[in-house]
């Protein structure tokens, strides 16, 4: 935490820290505290007067079925994206970890979607699955599937899940591959000699040894689904049809956009904030705990 060799002084370190602290305070702490403050305020319909209403915004929020809907949507969305992108990425990583020729090339070919902006990923997928002109949508329709993400909430959810998963596989793949490569080769060889066949070897040795990576990725993926997928949802469905793909973050945006429900939007922000902090705390806990072997 601290070097044994260091400089003394007060002015220089203060000057060095000043830009970072100034920006942090102006663009982080001040707005975050504003969010908390606003969540206790209520504007009247015309935006003329503002009252301090304690927890009324929160009460309304939790009484709002639309908010529950956003919770459920977020839960479904996160679950599917996490499970799909983690398992597919793990499969690819295990395959790429075999010492086959060209493994490096495959690695390069699998990681680049990380660089694609979520909003662009959304555009790519809506283009394929647009009910009227999408190539794959037409294929589905001609196969007898009544595919229409513009009208059917399940179709819309499927589409955002696919787009979000597609983009996240590369990230998970990279970390799983690094995790696999950090397992000592001799431990795997010991298991080979101990008579564990590949399938059993994977589940009794490799997978448990990957668990720190898996857990880390799980938290990162949840945060990804919560926040970074905003662009995907906005370009693919815009939260629709009728709020069926509206997640918590999307709702903060759409409720606050018109400026009519700033208090409610702020309350939602605060709830999200608490959730992120809880997740980060869990992650730190775990990182400490993984020291146990």
Binding to other proteins (CB under 8 A) within 32-51 occurs at 32, 34-35, 38
Q: Which residues pair with 42 in a beta bridge?
A: 51
Half-sphere exposure of 19 (CA within 13 A, CB side): 1
Give the number of other Cβ atoms within 10 Å of residue 61's Cβ.
22
Size of the site for other proteins (CB under 8 A): 112
CA–CA gap between residue 210 and residue 177 (Å, rounded): 10
- Least Å distance, CB 158 to other proteins, is 15
Task: Compute φ and ψ for 42, nearest 5 degrees.
Answer: -130, 125
- Least Å distance, CB 35 to other proteins, is 5
CA–CA gap between residue 91 and residue 237 (Å, rounded): 30
From candidates 149, 239, 256, 264, binder to other proteins by CB under 8 A: 256
- Least Å distance, CB 76 to other proteins, is 19
Question: Is 31 among the residues that bind other proteins (CB under 8 A)?
Answer: yes
Question: Is 119 among the residues that bind other proteins (CB under 8 A)?
Answer: yes
From candidates 41, 76, 128, 140, binder to other proteins by CB under 8 A: 128
Question: Is 140 among the residues that bind other proteins (CB under 8 A)?
Answer: no
From candidates 90, 171, 221, 264, binder to other proteins by CB under 8 A: 171
From candidates 117, 145, 146, 282, binder to other proteins by CB under 8 A: 117
Query: Which residues are CB-neighbours of 17 under 8 A, at least 6 positions away?
Result: none
Four-point Cα dihedral 144, 147, 153, 158, nearest 10? 100
Q: What is the DSSP string of 123-135?
A: HHHHHHH-TTT-H
Specify the residue, 118 or 149, whose C-beta has the smaller distance to other proteins: 118
- Cα-Cα-Cα-Cα dihedral sign, residues 130, 131, 133, 139: positive
From candidates 109, 145, 146, 282, binder to other proteins by CB under 8 A: 109
From candidates 68, 194, 242, 289, binder to other proteins by CB under 8 A: 194
Is the preceding peptide bond at 241 cis, omega within 30 degrees of 0?
A: yes
Helix (H) or strand (E) holding 51: strand 50-52
Question: Is 142 among the residues that bind other proteins (CB under 8 A)?
Answer: no
Site for other proteins in 50-79 (CB under 8 A): none
- CB-based burial, 219-244: b 16+ in 10 Å, e otherwise: bbbbbbbbebbbbbbbbbbebbbebb
CA–CA gap between residue 58 and residue 61 (Å, rounded): 5
Question: Is 164 among the residues that bind other proteins (CB under 8 A)?
Answer: no
From candidates 67, 80, 166, 176, binder to other proteins by CB under 8 A: 166
Question: Is 293 among the residues that bind other proteins (CB under 8 A)?
Answer: yes
- Least Å distance, CB 137 to other proteins, is 9
Encoded one letter per residue, x for contact with other proteins by CB under 8 A and - for no contact, window 206-245 reads: --xx------x---x--x---x--xx--xx--x-------
């Amino acid at each position: 935490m601290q070097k044994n060799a260091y400089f003394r002084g007060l002015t220089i370190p203060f000057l060095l820290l000043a830009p970072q602290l100034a920006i942090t305070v102006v663009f982080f702490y001040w707005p975050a505290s504003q969010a908390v403050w606003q969540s206790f305020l209520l504007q009247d319909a015309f935006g003329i007067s503002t009252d301090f209403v304690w927890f009324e915004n929160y009460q309304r929020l939790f009484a709002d079925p639309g908010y529950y809907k956003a919770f459920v949507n977020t839960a479904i969305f996160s679950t599917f994206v996490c499970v799909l992108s983690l398992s597919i990425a793990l499969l690819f990583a295990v395959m790429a970890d075999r010492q086959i020729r060209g493994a490096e090339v495959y690695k390069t070919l699998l990681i680049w979607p990380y660089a694609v902006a979520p909003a662009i990923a959304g555009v790519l997928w809506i283009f394929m699955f647009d009910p009227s002109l999408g190539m794959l949508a037409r294929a589905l329709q001609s196969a007898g599937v009544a595919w229409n993400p513009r009208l059917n909430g399940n179709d819309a959810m499927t589409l955002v899940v696919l787009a979000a998963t597609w983009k996240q596989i590369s990230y998970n793949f990279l970390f799983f591959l690094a995790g696999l490569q950090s397992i000592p080769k001799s431990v795997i060889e010991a298991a080979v000699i101990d008579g564990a066949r590949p399938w059993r070897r994977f589940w009794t040795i490799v997978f448990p040894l990957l668990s720190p990576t898996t857990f880390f990725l799980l938290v990162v993926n949840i945060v990804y689904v919560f926040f970074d997928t905003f662009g995907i949802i906005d370009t693919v469905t815009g939260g629709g049809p009728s709020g069926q793909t509206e997640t918590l973050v999307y709702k903060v945006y759409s409720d606050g956009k018109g400026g009519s429900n700033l208090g409610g939007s702020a309350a939602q922000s605060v709830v999200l904030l608490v959730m992120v902090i809880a997740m980060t705390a869990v992650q730190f806990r775990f990182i400490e705990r993984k020291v146990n072997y």
